[in-house]
Amino acid sequence: MINKVIIIFCLVSSVVFSQIKVVTTTTVIYDLVKNIGGDQVEVEFLSRGDQDVHFLEVLPSYMMKLRSADIFFQIGLQLEMWAPQLVDGSRNSSLIIVYLSDVITPKEVPTTKVDASQGDVHPQGNPHYWLDPDNAKKIATKIYEELSNHSPGFDSYFKKNLENYLSKINKKINEWEGKMLQLKQKNIICFHSSWIYFTDRFGLDISGYVEPKPGIPPTPSHNAEIIRIIQQKKIKLILTDVFYSESAPKQIANATGVKVLKLPTQVYGLENIKSYIEMMDYIVNQITSNG
């Protein structure tokens, strides 16, 4: 009898007290999962904040992380082309894979046939949607739903965390909108097509990209074209992700006096950026103080 009680207690406690093991492809998702899951979730990320998520090496250590995971959150829209190899390598047949792009409306979805002559175009749309904080709220809500589905016993705990987080981010959105108001309709140049969700959200206009086409390295003739646009439209800023080469933006800056801002697009993209809110704070502050 005592043995039975012990076994039942062990089974119940393993269900009730075991953490949900979550792996995320990016550090932004990691931060959101931490906020919603709290201490009921054990979460790890694959791509560091200073890495280009497009190109991650297929490392067996990532497979080991996925091997024991319950849920694997991905950005989706074919950003993580390397992920299926990791999932296969993990041999985890009970792994739940969640594409967070399912809950957002993608931008720049091609309407014609896509081929490599257009550069690295994502056929399902631009995947950098987390740079719109309204999309971050949708991601957080989706994370809550998935965690709750997995462990319904903690639904109220996850829901409370979600509400707290949404309240926090809503306040921040008001603050960011207020700061960005001064730059509405201002033209900027971006290095890569990572910024469309951010600029659309806060009313900036992208006049051109340092990359001639997505993922294609800058060329002298294209740099000359960007210099012409900057001079013509009196543009003050080039935005670039922290992991891209500074070489071409600096050449353009030398010719025009434009300011190059290397900005984190992931949590831990810079040493002092430890959360999504800190990242967005940094981006907004840098742009407003230099724009």
Nearer Cβ to another protein, position 50 or 177?
A: 50
Q: Which one of 42, 44, 67, 214 is in contact with another protein (CB under 8 A)?
A: 67
9 binds another protein (CB under 8 A): no
Contacts 24+ apart (CB under 8 A), 224-233: 226/189, 226/252, 227/252, 227/255, 227/256, 229/189, 230/189, 230/256, 230/258, 231/256, 233/187, 233/207
Q: Which amino acid is present at 270?
A: L
The one-character DSSP state at 126 is: B
245 binds another protein (CB under 8 A): yes
Dist. CA 217–CA 212, nearest whole Å: 7
Nearer Cβ to another protein, position 248 or 277?
A: 248
Strands, E assignment, 75-168: 96-99
123 binds another protein (CB under 8 A): no
- Find the part of the chain contacting another protein (CB under 8 A) among 26-34, 169-177, 214-222, 270-278: 214-222
81 binds another protein (CB under 8 A): yes
* Contacts to another protein from residues 132-191, by CB under 8 A: none
55 binds another protein (CB under 8 A): yes
243 binds another protein (CB under 8 A): yes
Cβ 46 to another protein shortest distance, Å? 12
Q: Which one of 38, 212, 214, 215 is in contact with another protein (CB under 8 A)?
A: 215
The one-character DSSP state at 69 is: -
Nearer Cβ to another protein, position 88 or 175?
A: 88
- Calculate Rg over the CA atoms of the chain: 21
First to last CA, the chain: 73
Dist. CA 71–CA 66, nearest whole Å: 9
Residues lying near another protein in the complex (CB under 8 A):
48, 50-52, 55-61, 63-64, 67, 81-82, 85, 88, 91-93, 116, 120, 215-217, 243, 245
